Amino acid sequence: MRNIWLLGSRIFPIKSIHRESDVYSFGVVLVELLIRQKAISQTRSEEGRNLASYFIMEMEEDVLFNISDAQVLEDAPKEEIIIVAKIAERCLNLNGRNRPTMNEVAMELEGIIQKSKRSATFEAQRNYDEDEYIRTSR
C-alpha cells in the first residue's frame, strides 16, 4: 500500500508532496489558530466541512471577525488578525504556484512580531513617562 497524505479535501500520493503542500498545511494551522476549529468538522455544512474550504468561503463573504475565536479577538489587534488571515488565505491557494514560500510567510509573520514588539515598547515608555510626570509634578 502506498503512503498517502491528506491535504485539504484531496488525497495525494506521497510522491507529489512538496514545498507547496507544506505551505498549504501551514495555512491550515494558521486558520486553526485563528478560529480554533479542527481541520475537518462534521458540524459545518457539507461544502464547509473542510476547514480550509470553510475559511476561504467565509473570507470571500468578508466575515473574518464573525468566525474568529473570541479569545483571539480579545488578545490580538484586529490589524494583526487581518494580516494573519490574509497570509493563511494565500497559503491555501489551490494553485500551489500561487502560494507564498515558507520564507515569505516567515518574513511576514516576523514583521508582525517586530511591529508588535515596537508597539509594546512604545506603550511601556509612554506609560513610564506619564508615571514619571505625575510623580515629579507633586
Q: Which pLDDT tens digit goes with each residue over 87-131?
A: 999 999 988 889 999 999 999 999 888 887 776 665 666 665 665
The pLDDT score that the predictor gives to residue 64 is 93
β-bridge mates for residue 50, sequence order = 40
CATH match of 16-101 with 1.10.510.10: yes
Residue 121 is predicted with a pLDDT of: 67
For the chain, what are the domain ranges? 16-101
Please spell the DSSP secondary structure of 28-90, one letter per residue: HHHHHHHH---SB-SSS-GGGSBHHHHHHHHHHTT-HHHHS-HHHHHHS-HHHHHHHHHHHHH
Q: Does residue 6 register a pLDDT over 50?
A: no
CA 88 to chain centre: 5
**Contacts of residue 36, Cβ cutoff 8 Å, sequence gap at least 6:** 69, 71, 72
Cβ 81 vs Cβ 64: under 8 Å: yes
Encode pLDDT of 28-82 as tens digits: 999 999 999 887 777 766 776 788 989 999 999 999 999 999 999 999 899 999 9
The whole-angstrom separation of Cα 1 and Cα 65 is: 43
Q: Are 50 and 11 in contact (CB under 8 A)?
A: no
Quick one: pLDDT at residue 137?
66
Distance between CA atoms of residues 10 and 119, nearest Å: 41
Whole-number pLDDT of residue 138: 60
The answer, yes or no, to whether residue 135 has pLDDT greater than 70, is: no
Q: What is the pLDDT of residue 8?
A: 45
Of the candidates 128, 49, 45, 59, the residue with the CA atom closest to the CA atom of residue 92: 59
Q: Is the pLDDT of residue 133 over 60?
A: no
Residue 130: predicted pLDDT: 61
> Residue 10: is its pLDDT beyond 90?
no
CA angle (79, 59, 103) in 5-degree steps: 65
